[in-house]
Amino acid sequence: MSEKSDKDSSKSTASQKRFKVGDLAVYPAHGVGRIEAIETKVVNGEEHDFYIMKVIENAMVIMIPTWNVESVGLRDVIQKKDIPKIYDVMRSRQEQPMDNQTWNRRYREYMEKIKTGSLFEVAEVFRDLSLLKLTKDLSFGERKLYDTAQNLLVKELSTAKNKNEKAIIKEIDALFKSEEA
């Protein structure tokens, strides 16, 4: 990296998280990835630093400006100590106010939650769709969201707990099985 870009990025990212090559991070709606490189590119005649992140699930490569980490929602993988809170979200059963909404309105609301990148929001989407699935068939779009939410949850929880995905799926299934009994 050049001295100029070091100065430019340090003033705009002083309070932002700095990732290193090899770090695992979560990109909203895409899931867990690894920072493969930090590269300087010239954009509109100005040098900018970018994180080059490879999404673990599908090997998609994403370039994220280092100065834009906060606004795009790039964050660390959830800490182990916060996992019980995620499970609490999935266990909690609130009234389903969205049950009388049309599927496309629910879809938009759920998509917005997934796009936040918050695992807590993703857990809410998964919980709500899991409960809805018990009472009615999910629309095609809702089914895709359900699968996306489940995938994002499983990938990040398995990474955070250093467990295989099948074990995480069993844990999540157990949360819902205990409520049905």
**pLDDT value at position 46?**
92
* Amino acid found at 15: S
How do residues 63-118 score in pLDDT, each as one tens digit? Answer: 999 999 988 999 999 999 999 999 999 998 765 555 567 778 888 999 999 999 99
- Domains: count for the chain: 2
Does 163 lie in the same domain as 88? yes
**pLDDT value at position 178?**
55
* Amino acid found at 181: A
Q: Which domain holds residue 172?
A: 80-180
Give the residue-averaged pLDDT of 139-163: 94
Does 120 lie in the same domain as 93? yes
**pLDDT value at position 153?**
96
Does 46 lie in the same domain as 130? no
Average pLDDT of the chain is 86
Does 125 lie in the same domain as 44? no
Q: Which of 30, 49, 72 is the last residue of a domain?
A: 72
Percent of the chain with pLDDT over 90: 67
Cα separation values, 133 from 44, 71, 127, 137, Å: 49, 33, 10, 6
Global confidence as pTM: 0.82
CATH number, domain containing residue 90: 1.20.58.1290
**pLDDT value at position 96?**
53
- Bridge pairing between strands 31-43 and 46-55: antiparallel
Q: How far apart are CA 48 and CA 152, in angstroms?
A: 30
Does 85 lie in the same domain as 63? no
